[in-house]
Amino acid sequence: MSNQLYSGKTVVITGAGSGIGQAMAVAFAQAGASLAVLDLNQEQLSETLDLLISSNAKASGFACDVSQSTQVQSAVDKIQLAFGSIDVWINNAGIAHVGNIEATAEADLDRLYNVNIKGVYNGMLAVLPIMKQQNGGAILNMASIAAKVGIADRFAYSMTKGAVLTMSLSVAKDYVTQNIRCNCICPARVHTPFVDGFIAKNYPGQEREVFDNLAAYQPIGRMGEPAEIAQLALFLCSDNAKFITASAYDIDGGVTSLR
């Protein structure tokens, strides 16, 4: 894609401190966007910000807990003041939980709801008035194949990603006449620092075996890479995708169709 594709546009990415969020920040910066990156982890946020600034991107970082509406609104106010517009909003921040319904405590359910569902709601609610005033914008939400297929021991996580998908459809429907598009991405497993940390914590001494098993779940034979997810996001939020809204794009190595 042209490195001028996002020239003059402001892109906001939540959960941009590592993994997919960081990869998306780098990709959008390379495409000429001005970046506002949000993350709860200040250290990781600083790493992403340093990465962007070292590549001469126009970027600002905001420490933000997306589950707290006041923090999200504060960040949006600061971003609008600093950049003048918000053209793309990407709800990428999210957390995981392993367990079936019997292994999911009420506290686990609430914790995932607060970040994965309420966090997406908070982001869209804060940015929509700005996009309405601008007469346009693109919202991209990070869902998962867990919103479409049954995955063992992912009860709470699947619940939240199903909600992300349907929230995306609802917002797309309600704001289509105001030139605001809303889509979501549904990845399978993606090789991020979270995956490595999860395996090391829960399967000490079995890291390679577990990693290979997780990779083999995808019919294509491997996990996705953050940069591959970023390239799909880059397209969906661009003017090249102006005819696309209310879509849930699988990027899953064949899981939803070939398993």
62-121: pLDDT as tens digits: 999 999 999 999 999 999 999 999 999 999 999 999 999 999 999 999 999 999 999 999
pLDDT above 70 (res 1): no
pLDDT number for residue 202: 86
Tell me the C-alpha distance between 77 and 180, whole Å.
Answer: 19
Catalytic residue among 113, 157, 175, 203: 157
Tell me the C-alpha distance between 13 and 33, whole Å.
Answer: 12
Bridging pattern class, strands 34-39 and 248-251: unpaired
Mean pLDDT (whole number) for 224-248: 98
In this predicted model, what pLDDT tens digit does every residue of 109-157 receive, in sequence order?
Answer: 999 999 999 999 999 999 999 999 999 999 999 999 999 999 999 999 9
pLDDT number for residue 147: 98
* Type of residue found at 204: P
Mean pLDDT (whole number) for 198-207: 92
For the chain, give every residue range classified as CATH 3.40.50.720. 10-188+225-254
Q: What is the DSSP letter of 246?
A: S
pLDDT number for residue 63: 98
- Active site includes 157? yes
Per-residue confidence band for 259, with pLDDT thresholds at 50, 70 and 90: confident
* Type of residue found at 75: A
In this predicted model, what pLDDT tens digit does every residue of 14-61 receive, in sequence order?
Answer: 999 999 999 999 999 999 999 999 999 999 999 999 999 999 999 999
- Number of Cβ within a 10 Å radius of residue 86: 20
Architecture label for domain 10-188+225-254:
3-Layer(aba) Sandwich (3.40)
Q: Are 182 and 248 in contact (CB under 8 A)?
A: no
Question: Looking at 2-6, 82-86, 140-144, 236-240, which range is the least confident one?
Answer: 2-6
Measured at the CA of 28, the angle between CA 257 and CA 235, to 5 degrees, comes to 40
